[in-house]
Every structure is written in structure tokens, then in C-alpha cells.
């Protein structure tokens, strides 16, 4: 079964900067998102026991690789990684050639919110697939290097991003963020932690960086 067709994709040439170094752009048609989720639900229904969560932050997330979707995820990443690198070059000076991708599931019966954290990625691609929801906004909380990750969040750094089905939010993995409580419905997003094997194979000194927004 082919989950995504070429006609499902929207042109990836109209990003909007919704906050400092945070971009949102249309990626997939809503009907393609619905088809993707239906396929995930079908695959999950075949499992004899619940698959492991994709990480320690999401008790109800879905490890899509365990559902046999690795080739599809690789194809999605290959299409979006060049866009991520073009928009956020300071975080991806080398090719984004690996990824960890999974589905998050926010509702009153699953994960309701997510606290302050950063991602294990060079660039994160957060693609909203559905379903119908209110709340669960993504709140960006300022870019920091590893030295200054726990420093205070200035009011001007809190940028609320409202998800729209078929649209992706792109931001640096080091950009601190949270997910506010969901108020109704269910929000499921494909999260792609896009990574560079070259960067990760080189020693990374613990030092402040030019993009860190910690005040001097």
C-alpha cells in the first residue's frame, strides 16, 4: 500500500518565520494526513501487544519504525531535510543524513502536555497530521547552548505556535520549548529529529555559541 503520493505534497517554498529561527510551512494536503494516520491505526491494530514508546517524554507516542514504516520515514526526511538545512544553516552546516522519527499523541486520554525540554536533534521537524483539537500549542522558549540551557526564559522569548493540519514547524533542537495542555480533541504529530552524522562524530567542546540568546 502506498501511503503518500506525489500529489499529496505541497510546494515547500513558502515558509513563514513565526518566531526567531522558527519556521512554519505547508507540507501535506489534509487528506494525505488522514490517510497516514489511518494506516498507522491499522498497523497498530495488528500488534498483539503495545509497542514501546519512542522516548521517555511520551508515554503514549508511537515508535513508527516498529510498525514497519522506516522506508516511508526515510523518504519524508529526505524531502524535508534540505529545507531544514536551508532555513537553519547555523545548526546544520553538514548534511542532515540521519533521523529519529515518531508520532506524538495528545488528548485527555493520552499525553496531555509536555514540559520544558530540548530535542536530541540538530533540527526538529514537527508535522501536524490531525485530528481535531483545541490547545496543545507549541511554545518556544528561547535558544540556548548547552552551558546556558537552564537559564531563565525572558517573556519576549515565549512564542506560541498554533498547529495546523498538514503544516510543519521547523526549529533547532536546542531551541527550548514545551507543549501546553490540550483542551479538547486529539492532536497527533509526526516528529522528526533530524541529525548530522558528521557533527555527531566530531568532538563538541562545551562552550557558548554565536546563536545562544543568553544575555552577555
Query: What count of Cα atoms within 13 Å lies in the side-chain half-sphere of residue 181?
Result: 3
Question: Is 3 inside a domain boundary?
Answer: no
Whether the full predicted model's pTM is greater than 0.85, yes or no, is: yes
Q: Is residue 121 part of a domain?
A: yes
Q: What is the pLDDT of residue 47?
A: 79
Mean pLDDT of 8-30: 97
Q: According to the model, what pLDDT value does residue 96 have?
A: 98
In a domain, 149, yes or no: yes
* Distance (Å) of CA 180 to CA 61, 73, 158, 162: 16, 27, 12, 10
In a domain, 67, yes or no: yes
Q: How many domains does the chain have?
A: 1
Distance from C-alpha of 150 to C-alpha of 71, rounded to nearest angstrom: 37
Neighbouring CB atoms inside 10 A of 7's CB total: 8
What is the rounded CA–CA span in Å between residue 60 and residue 63?
Answer: 10
Taking the C-alpha atoms of residue 145 and residue 150, their distance in angstroms, rounded to an integer, is: 10
Report the share of the chain in percent with pLDDT over 90: 83
Q: Which residues contact 90 (CB under 8 A, 6 or more apart)?
A: 210, 211
Mean of pLDDT values over 79-84: 98
Average pLDDT of the chain?
93
Q: In this structure, is residue 215 part of a structural domain?
A: no
Indicate whether 216 pLDDT > 60: no
Query: What is the per-residue pLDDT across 128-181, written as a single tens digit (0 to 9) for each?
Result: 999 899 999 999 999 999 999 999 999 999 999 999 999 999 999 999 999 999
pLDDT at site 204? 83
Residue 74 lies in a domain: yes
**Assigned domain for 142 exists:** yes
> Is residue 56 very low, low, confident or very high in pLDDT (cuts 50, 70, 90)?
confident
Q: Are 136 and 207 in contact (CB under 8 A)?
A: no
Q: In the chain, which residue ranges form alpha helices assigned H by DSSP?
A: 30-46, 70-87, 197-201
Domain of 191, CATH number, reads 2.60.120.620
**Which of residues 82 and 202 earns the better pLDDT score?**
82
Give the integer Cα–Cα distance in Å for 48 and 189: 24
Domain for residue 7, yes or no?
no
Containing domain of residue 37, as a range?
Answer: 17-196
| pLDDT at residue 51 in the model | 64
Predicted local distance difference test score (pLDDT) of residue 35? 95
Q: Does 1 score more than 70 pLDDT?
A: no
Q: H helices then E strands: how many in the chain?
A: 3, 11
Amino acid at each position: 500500500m502506498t501511503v503518500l503520493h506525489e500529489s499529496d505534497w505541497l510546494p515547500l517554498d513558502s515558509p513563514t518565520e513565526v518566531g526567531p529561527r522558527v519556521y512554519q510551512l505547508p507540507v501535506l494536503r489534509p487528506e494525505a494526513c488522514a490517510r497516514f494516520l489511518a494506516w498507522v491505526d491499522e498497523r497498530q491494530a495488528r500488534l498483539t501487544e503495545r509497542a514501546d514508546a519512542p522516548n521517555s517524554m511520551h508515554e503514549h507516542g508511537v515508535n513508527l519504525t516498529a510498525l514497519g514504516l522506516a522506508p516511508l520515514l526515510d523518504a519524508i526526511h529526505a524531502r524535508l531535510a534540505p529545507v531544514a538545512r536551508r532555513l537553519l544553516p547555523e545548526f546544520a552546516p553538514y548534511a542532515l543524513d540521519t533521523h529519529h522519527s515518531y508520532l506524538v499523541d495528545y488528548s485527555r486520554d493520552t499525553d496531555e502536555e509536555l514540559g520544558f525540554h530540548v530535542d536530541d536533534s540538530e533540527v526538529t521537524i514537527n508535522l501536524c497530521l490531525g485530528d481535531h483539537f483545541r490547545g496543545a500549542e507549541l511554545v518556544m522558549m528561547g535558544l540556548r547552548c548547552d552551558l546556558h540551557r537552564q537559564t531563565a526564559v525572558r517573556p519576549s522569548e515565549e512564542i506560541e505556535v498554533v498547529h495546523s493540519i498538514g503544516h510543519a514547524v521547523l526549529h533547532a533542537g536546542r531551541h527550548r520549548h514545551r507543549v501546553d495542555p490540550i483542551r479538547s480533541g486529539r492532536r497527533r504529530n509526526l516528529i522528526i529529529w533530524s541529525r548530522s552524522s558528521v557533527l555527531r562524530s566530531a568532538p563538541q567542546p562545551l562552550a557558548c555559541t554565536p546563536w545562544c540568546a543568553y544575555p552577555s
